[in-house]
Structure 1
Amino acid sequence: MNRYIPLTGIDLIPASLLIDTQAPLDVLQAMADHRIRTVTQVLENIAYRAEIGCDTVVLKDFSQLLAIPLRDGCDLMDVIGRRLRVQAKE
């Protein structure tokens, strides 16, 4: 695995937002946790509101806004999984 891998949501070359695959596992996990919990908190706040009024454009933009940190968290969890599988083989 390369030392630095780009986040999957960015298709530019060269990528400027990278994950250090050799960072300590607890650091990678903390960053994934932060991103996923942030999205979860926002979605829970929306889900428990009595009334939400918005148009399709706002909903689309809002969905994209939440997808970014969620995808980042998934990318971080993927790196953690790869590292743990390598450790398990050793």
Structure 2
Amino acid sequence: MERYTPLTGIDLVPASLLIDSEAPLDVLHAMADYRIRTVTQVLENIAFRSEMETDAVILSDFAQLVAIPLRDGCDLMDVIGRRLRMQAAETEETSVS
């Protein structure tokens, strides 16, 4: 696994927003948790509003606004998953030896 993974959705070369795949797992998890919970809170606040009039342009902009941190959180969770699978494979190899 490469040390620095670019965030999904950023097509610039070289990428400037990167995830350090060697950062401690608790730090990666905290960053993913923060982004996903922030989006969840915003969406819940909107869902509980009884009257909210918007047009298609505003909805499109809002969808993009909440998709960015949600995608970042998912990218972080992907890195965590790869790290955990690598650790599990190493543990399995060690226990077999």
Shorter chain as denominator, the TM-score bin is over 0.9
Shift of 1:22: 0.1
Corresponding residue for 1:54? Answer: 54
Post-superposition offset of 1:55: 0.2
Quick check: 1:85 aligned with 2:81? no
Is residue 11 of structure 1 aligned with residue 14 of structure 2?
A: no
Please list, as runs of the form range in 1=range in 2, the aligned pairs for 1:12-31 lying within 5 A after superposition: 12-31=12-31
Task: Give the aligned residue type for 2:11.
Answer: D
Equivalent residue number for residue 37 of structure 2: 37
Using the aligned pairs only, state the percent identity: 79
C-alpha distance in structure 1 between counterparts of 2:56 and 2:73, whole Å: 26
Structure 1: 5+ residue runs without aligned partners? none
* Alpha-carbon offset, residue 79 of structure 1: 0.1
Highest Rg: 1 or 2? 2
Runs (4 or more) in structure 1 with deviation over 4 Å come to: none
TM-score by length of 1: 0.99
Q: How many residues align?
A: 90
